[in-house]
Amino acid sequence: MSKKPELAVKAKHEAARRAERAPGHAELSLPSVTVDTYNEELRDEEGFIGDRASGRAFRAILDDWRERLTQNSEDPLGSKPTQDISKTELDKKLASDDPVAAGLIHSAVEEFAQELAAVVRRFLRLEKWKGTERIVVGGGLSSSHIGRLAMGRAAVLLNAEGIRIELVPIEYHHDQAGLIGSLHFAPGWAFTGYDAILTADIGGTNLRVGVVKHHASKRSDLSKASVWKLEHWRHADDKPNREEAAERIAALMTALIGQTVKEEVKLAPFVGIACPGIIDETGVILRGGQNLPGNWEDASFNLPAQIASRLPKIDGDTALVVMHNDAVVQGLSEVPRMTDVERWAILTIGTGLGNARFTNRRRG
């Protein structure tokens, strides 16, 4: 069998890669959606509005209720500090036969739901958020029962006021959504002759690196995409500096590249990164990276370039590394499920509260 067609395809891919711009920020106008705005930093006299509906905020509310309760009785959650109680433990307590423990958690969930509803009201008043029909709620809290209960209660409060908005939990587990979303800003050549891409999702506490299979031959809308391999690192425990963090990310990626070679998974020379903050066109974080290890807002620090320089070649080529805001990337994982609305958004409840608003692009 002649190798000419195969060589021609490879040459076409190489030409397309050379035509790509340097590593940096993904576009706001993507094949399926336009990113209308992201990382809106709403403020009031108390600080950032979003901080009132973050994972930290929920913990602070629960801690406050525990303190009030223990002034007159025993704490049904025991002596463990609130920050050390997992969401799974809280879910179990909520469903337990202990009415005081369940009532305590319900009280915290109700107060948090009111804060979440207040935050949603403020976002919906923004010019770029007008006409939003649905809000996907992502982040770590969204995968727990307490998080979904708070989400449902917030939706009840808003709709009771006449604010017509849907609040729905993100489809993928939050560990995977921030990886899978990168497929939606990958270049077209990454889907031709390749099975998967390399991705990273960097948060204020945790970091995940994975290989995502697109399965585009099964569903061209990428609704069958899945995470093939995933590595997790809780960097908050190790407290690395900026360079150590970049080195660790590259090391995790290099190990995954080795696994794709060993198991004959055709990996495209493209890397998608999700990261907090406002990112300029070159990939420099302008602001919003305060929870990341070290000063990532330094104009001389470019994470895509740092990662690209540390990775081995993939399929004989230097990887194209492109970064986008983490809330945007989580939201992009929902693109196949948002076709029944025109304007939609995402709020990610994690260390902070991420946000992005999208408008679906009309096809043909």
Global pTM reads 0.89
Catalogue the E-assigned strands of the chain. Answer: 24-25, 33-38, 43-44, 47-48, 134-138, 166-169, 196-202, 207-213, 226-233, 267-275, 278-279, 285-287, 320-325, 343-349, 353-360
CA separation, residue 360 to residues 30, 326, 363 (Å): 10, 19, 9
Domains of the chain and CATH, by start: 12-28+173-333 (3.30.420.40), 43-125+131-169 (3.30.420)
* Structure letter (DSSP) for residue 290: T
What gap in Å lies between CA 229 and CA 248, rounded to an integer? 17
The tens-digit pLDDT sequence of the chain (364 residues) is 445 445 444 554 554 554 454 557 778 899 999 999 999 988 877 767 878 888 899 999 999 999 999 998 999 999 999 999 999 999 999 999 999 999 999 999 999 999 999 999 999 999 999 999 999 999 888 889 999 999 999 999 999 999 999 999 999 998 899 999 999 999 999 999 999 999 999 988 889 999 999 999 999 999 999 999 999 999 888 888 889 999 999 999 999 999 999 999 999 999 999 999 899 888 888 888 877 877 888 888 999 999 999 999 999 999 999 999 999 999 999 999 999 999 999 999 987 889 999 999 976 5
